[in-house]
Structure 1
Amino acid sequence: MSLKKAGIIIFIILLIDQVSKIYIKTNFALGDEVEVFDWFRILFVENEGMAWGAKIPGQYGKLALTLFRLAAIVGIGYWLWDSVRNKGSRVLITSIALIFAGAFGNIIDSVIYGIIFNDSYGQIASFLPEAGGYGTIFHGKVVDMLYFPIWKGYLPEWIPLWGGEYFTFFEPVFNIADSAISIGVALLLVFNKKAFPKTSEED
């Protein structure tokens, strides 16, 4: 696969990701929810830290995370370029393109959303508000909206540790960028031999 085709994949994912996030940010207040099906809802939440809502503590935790993401995207970009140069498999290049697009999509939120939107607490945010954004550069929050509560209920008592507790599957709320990263990683795991044929042959 050529770098141009990988670029098209990245562009399409970034476009869908950012359009969906900007739409949610400018049409939903934080916590607003729309039920599409019993098992699928649009729920607006913001992620201030890492995956699953984890945070790096301290005054500069968010800045450190954003800078780490920027360094990581450079590394992923080099991996993509090197894989194309060395005529890597279609599966490998597609997977890296998906991971790159997803990482880049969330980096956009972290870097600039704090300065181009005001906050969404109890209100619908404005794009480029006159009074300024809710944060500063590198301190934006990632917009999430895809929620799949496929099953909710109390777990059987015989399950160790969590027996009898109320449980939701699938609990995390995510976005298009997260989906692209997950699909890219899944492709590498499922089609490992096709993604890394030389390594497989040596084994």
Structure 2
Amino acid sequence: MVFFFAIILAVVGIDQASKAWILLHFALYESREVIPGLFNLTHLTNNGAAFGMLAGQPAVWRQVFFIAAASVALVFIWIAQRSFGRRSRVYAAALALIAGGAIGNLIDRIRWGFVVDFLDFYLGQSHWPAFNVADSAITVGVTLFIVYNLVFDRQ
């Protein structure tokens, strides 16, 4: 369990620290080129879900929905950790990454009513939707869980 909670705390800490740095050093919509033609740091906000889904809904309903969804997800992650996490540290790490990312974005939603995004990858004029450390942790965690399950743990 120490391993599980250490990863969660690391993800939340890095996520919140990186967002605080962006908020302190960038104006909203300000963009700075990091790797020409590929990557910028760009201060954006997202009051919707992934890729801006639900962004047009009333703020109160969005907040209730996102807080409830994150809370339910964290309960399921806790239950999964008690089953899968005991079988393998890989499962524990994957679930901790997902939980840490969910908590990081939940903190934003409770504090500001939106999530701070700033990682902006693109090729030419085609941009991937901006994201943050919490989103990355969730994506890596889900991918790790699925790949480990399919390749190494056939139970």
> Would the aligned equivalents of 2:33 and 2:39 in 1 still touch at CA under 8 Å?
yes
Report the aligned-residue RMSD. 2.0
1:41 aligned onto 2:14:
no
Extract unaligned runs of 5+ from structure 2: none
Moved more, 184-193 or 72-81: 72-81
The equivalent residue for 1:111 is 110
Counterpart in the other structure of 2:19:
21
1:50 positional shift: 0.9
Whether the 8 Å contact between 1:18 and 1:105 is mirrored in structure 2 is yes
For residues 1-203 of structure 1, what are the structure 2 equivalents within 5 Å?
Answer: 3-38=1-36, 39-55=38-54, 57-59=56-58, 62-86=59-83, 87-113=86-112, 140-149=113-122, 151-152=123-124, 168=126, 170-193=127-150, 197=153, 200-201=154-155
Aligned equivalent of 1:123: none
Q: What is the distance in 2 between the residues matched to 1:28 and 1:56? A: 23
Higher relative contact order structure (alpha carbons within 8 Å, sequence separation ≥ 6): 2
Q: What is the alpha-carbon distance in structure 2 between the residues aligned to residue 193 and residue 54 of structure 1?
A: 30
Q: Go from structure 1 to structure 2 and tell me whether the alpha carbon gap of 1:190 and 1:36 turns closer, same or farther (over 3 Å shift).
A: same
**What residue identity is the alignment partner of 1:172?**
P
* Range with bigger deviation, 185-194 or 35-44: 185-194
In 1, are the aligned partners of 2:81 and 2:91 still within 8 Å (CA)?
A: no
Q: Cα offset for 1:194?
A: 6.1
Deviation at 1:56, TM superposition (A): 5.0
Asked which structure has the greater CA Rg, the reply is: 1
Aligned length: 152
Q: Is the 8 A contact 2:46 2:116 kept in 1?
A: yes
Give how far 1:70 is off.
Answer: 2.6
Secondary structure, aligned partner of 2:14 = helix
TM-score normalised according to structure 1 size: 0.67
Cα displacement string for residues 60-95 of structure 1 (whole angstroms, at most 9, x for unaligned residues):
xx3333333333333333334334433232222211
Identity in percent: 36
Question: Which stretches of structure 1, 4 residues or longer, exceed 6 Å deviation after superposition?
Answer: none
**TM-score of the pair, normalised by structure 2:** 0.85
Greater share of residues in helix: 2
